[in-house]
Amino acid sequence: MCGICGMVGFANQDLLKKMCRIMSHRGPDDEGYFIDKNIGLGIRRLSIIDLETGHQPIHNEDETIWVVFNGEIYNFQELRESLKKKGHQFYTKTDTEVIIHLYEEKGEDCVNYLNGMFAFAIWDKKDEKLFLARDRLGIKPLYYTVVDGSLLFASEIKALLECNKVEKEVDLIGMHHFLTFLYVPAPFSMFKGIKKLPPAHTMSYKNGKVGVQNFEPLQYWDLGFSKAKIKREEYYSERILELLREAVKIRLVSDVPLGIFLSGGIDSSSIVGLMSQISNCSVKTFSIGYEEKFASYNELKYSRLVAKHFGTEHHEFIVKPDAVELLPEIIQHFDEPFADSSAIPTYLVSQMAKKHITVALSGIGGDEAFGGYPRYIGLQVARYYEKLPLFVRKNILLKIAEQFPESTASINIMGRFKRFARGGILPADKRYLSWISFFNTDFYNKLFTDKLKKELSMSDPFQIHREFLNQKKTAEFLNRVFYLDVKTYLADDLLAMGDRMSMANSLELRIPFCDHKLLEFSASIPYSTKIEGFRLKYLLKRAVSQLLPKEIITKRKQGFMIPLGSWLQTELKDLTLDLLSKRSVKKRNYFNWECVQWMLREHYEGRQNFADQIWALMTLEIWHRIYIDNNPIQK
C-alpha cells in the first residue's frame, strides 16, 4: 500500500518530494521518484509483497513507460505468467510491474484485466501521455487538479495543497453535499478545483489536455442487473460461499503478518471462519468495545464468541469519550470534513492492529452486497404503508410520531419511526433519499443564512444520488437502491473511511466483500431472494450457516457505531459548545445561530436525537480552523 503523486506540464523536484513526504504515513518503508522534462512521479511505499526489490517507480524494459501504484493486484501471478509467455521481461516480483507490461499489451484497456484495489499513474514517454486509473469500487483514492494548464494528482488532498498555486478555497457545493450525507461524494471535494477521480474511471493527459473517460455512461466497469432465470436458493447460497472463499483466499497473499477487524457481525465473522479454514496459522482478530453503561453499542460478546469458536489470537480495545481528542488528527487524514463517527473506532482498531500486523481484512461491503441495512426492510414495509390514505400518513401518523422523544441508544426506535414516517409521505425515490440524508430542504431553509442560500441557489445535493438511482430503471427498486449505495455510501463513506483510518496507521486494509466478481454475482440475484420477507441477509446467512455459530447467524444488525448522542449530552458537551459557540457560528456566516441553538437544545433535552447533524457541524468547524484558518488544533 502506498501514497502516490505527480505532475505533468512541469516538473519540480522539491515540490514532488514535499508532496510525497506529507503522505509518509501511507508508505513509511520507502520513497521513489521519476523526473523527466515536464513530468514528475513520486511514491511513498508500504512494503507488502517483494520487500527487497519492489522499489517504485517501476519501468518497462527500455524505460519508456513508468508507473507509480497504490494498491494490490490479486491476480498478478496469472497475469505475470501470461505476459512472460509473450516475451515480457520482469526485474521484480511485484504486482506493480505487471501493470506496466499489461499496459504495453492492452493500452488503457489494461484496467479490465486487473482484479484488485488500485490507483495508479502511468507515464507513456513515447506517446507523451499520463494515464490515471482507479479501481472498480473506489477502494483506493485518487485526487487531481489542473493549475495553469498543468495536472497534479495524489492519493490525498494534502499533497496537492503543497503546491502554492493550489488555493485553499471552500467549494460550497461540496459542503452542501457533505452536510446532506455526512461525506463528500465523487467527483466533488471540499476545495474548489480539486476533484476525486470516481471509481471505475480513467483519465488521460496529453498535449496539455485532460480527458476524463466515463463521466458519460461509458465506463470500463459497471454493475449490471440481468433478468436471468431465477435459480434455486441452494445454487445462490453455494455460489456465494464459493466466491467469498476465493475472495478471502486471494487476499491472504502477503509477505508480512495479517489479521482481521472482527465486529462480531456476520460479515467479519464469515471472513474469520474462512481465514481459519484457508490459513495454516492462527488468525489474529481485533475488536472494539465500549464501557458497560453503553452496553447497547457493545458487540464484544459476539466477537469473543467467534474468536473462541475459531481459536483466534484475539485483541480488544475499549473506546472511551476521550477518544474524541483524536478528531482533529482524523480530519487531517481525510483533508475534508467527514461526519461518520465510525471513523473514531476504525482509527483505534487500526492503531491497535498495527502493533501486531501490517495487513488487515475487513467486512466492509457485506451490507450493500447482500442486503444488511434496516432501511431495506423499511422499503418493504413502505409498499404496504403507502396504501394508507395520504391524509392519514401525513396528518395523523406523522404528527403522532413527531410528539415522542428520541433515544440515544444504539437502536433509536422512535427516531427510526419518525424518519420512516417523514419519508412515508413521499414517492419511493424521494423516500429513500430522505432516509439516507441528514438535512433536507426545509431544514436548510432554517439553518442556512441568507448569504449561503443565495450562493447555493443552483445547488442540488441530491443530484448525484438521484442520477445513480435512476440509471438502472429496469431493475427491481431494491436493486436500484443496492446500486446507489455501492456507488455512493460504500465508495465515498465506508471505503474512504477504511482507507484513511488504516493508512493513518500505516496499515493496509483488504475488503473481500468488495471483490468485483462477488458483487457482480450479487447483482444477478433477485433482491426478493437476498432478503426473504423481513429477514436481512437471508441468502448470506444461509451460505455461511454451517460455518458460524448459530448465535452469529440469528443476531440482529448492530452497526459499527459510537454512543455519540450520549457523549454529546455529557462528556463532549463543553467541546460542542465551544465549536458551535455563537462567535464561531457567526464568524463562518453559513448557519443561523438561532437554528444551531435550537438543535443543541432539542438534543440536550432529549426531544430529538440530532447527534449526526451536530457532529457534522462540529467536524466542519474543526476542518475550517485547520485548513482555511491555517490554525491546527491540538488534541
**Residue 145, domain CATH:** 3.60.20.10
Closest CA to 183 of 285, 319, 69, 335: 335
Q: How far is CA 136 from its chain centroid?
A: 13
Please answer whether residues 423 and 435 qualify as being in contact, where contact means their C-beta atoms are separated by less than 8 angstroms.
yes
Please answer whether residues 350 and 321 qualify as being in contact, where contact means their C-beta atoms are separated by less than 8 angstroms.
no
Structural domain that includes position 294: 233-369+481-554
Please answer whether residues 243 and 521 qualify as being in contact, where contact means their C-beta atoms are separated by less than 8 angstroms.
yes
Query: Which of the listed residues 190, 219, 248 is the one where a domain comes to its end?
Result: 219
| Strand ranges (E), 384-493 | none
Same domain, 183 and 313: no
What is the C-alpha separation between 368 and 491, in angstroms, rounded?
11
Same domain, 289 and 196: no
pLDDT (0 to 100) of residue 208: 63
Closest CA to 314 of 326, 322, 306: 306
What is the C-alpha separation between 510 and 217, in angstroms, rounded?
28
How far is CA 518 from each of CA 323, 368, 471, 526, rounded to the nearest angstrom? 35, 12, 21, 15
Residue 2 falls in the annotated catalytic set? yes
Same domain, 203 and 298: no
Same domain, 206 and 243: no
Same domain, 180 and 283: no
Same domain, 290 and 317: yes
Q: What is the DSSP string of 544-602?
A: TTTTS-HHHHHSPP--S---HHHHHHTTTHHHHHHHT-HHHHHHHTSB-HHHHHHHHHH
| Residue 314 within a domain | yes
Query: Which of the listed residues 185, 219, 253 is the one where a domain comes to its end?
Result: 219
pLDDT (0 to 100) of residue 475: 82
Strands 284-290 and 258-261 come out as parallel
Same domain, 240 and 197: no
| Residue 329 within a domain | yes
How far is CA 366 from each of CA 87, 239, 494, 514, 540, rounded to the nearest angstrom? 41, 15, 11, 8, 9
Closest CA to 190 of 626, 635, 631, 633: 626
Query: Which of the listed residues 502, 523, 554 is the one where a domain comes to its end?
Result: 554
Same domain, 261 and 198: no
Q: What share of the chain is helix, strand, coil (3-state, %, to 5)?
A: 50, 15, 35
| Residue 606 within a domain | no
| Residue 564 within a domain | no
| Residue 411 within a domain | no
Please answer whether residues 286 and 262 qualify as being in contact, where contact means their C-beta atoms are separated by less than 8 angstroms.
yes
Same domain, 176 and 246: no
Q: Which residues of the chain are under the pLDDT cut of 50?
A: 213-218, 635
Same domain, 309 and 260: yes
pLDDT (0 to 100) of residue 534: 84
When divided into structural domains, the chain yields a total of 2
At 340, which CATH number? 3.40.50.620
| Residue 13 within a domain | yes
| Residue 622 within a domain | no
Please answer whether residues 353 and 261 qualify as being in contact, where contact means their C-beta atoms are separated by less than 8 angstroms.
yes
Cα-Cα-Cα-Cα torsion 175, 147, 70, 632, nearest 10 degrees, comes to -50
What is the C-alpha separation between 21 and 194, in angstroms, rounded?
20
Three-state SS for 251-320 is CCCCCCCEEEECCCCHHHHHHHHHHHHHCCCCCEEEEEEECHHHHHHCCHHHHHHHHHHHCCEEEEEEEC
Q: Which of 2, 20, 110, 514 is catalytic?
A: 2
339: left (phi over 0), alpha (psi -120 to 50) or beta: alpha
Same domain, 272 and 206: no
User: Residue 505: helix, strand or coil by DSSP?
Assistant: coil
Summarised one tens digit per residue, pLDDT across range 542-569 is: 999 999 999 999 988 776 778 888 889 9
pLDDT (0 to 100) of residue 314: 97
pLDDT (0 to 100) of residue 54: 60
Same domain, 173 and 293: no
| Residue 415 within a domain | no
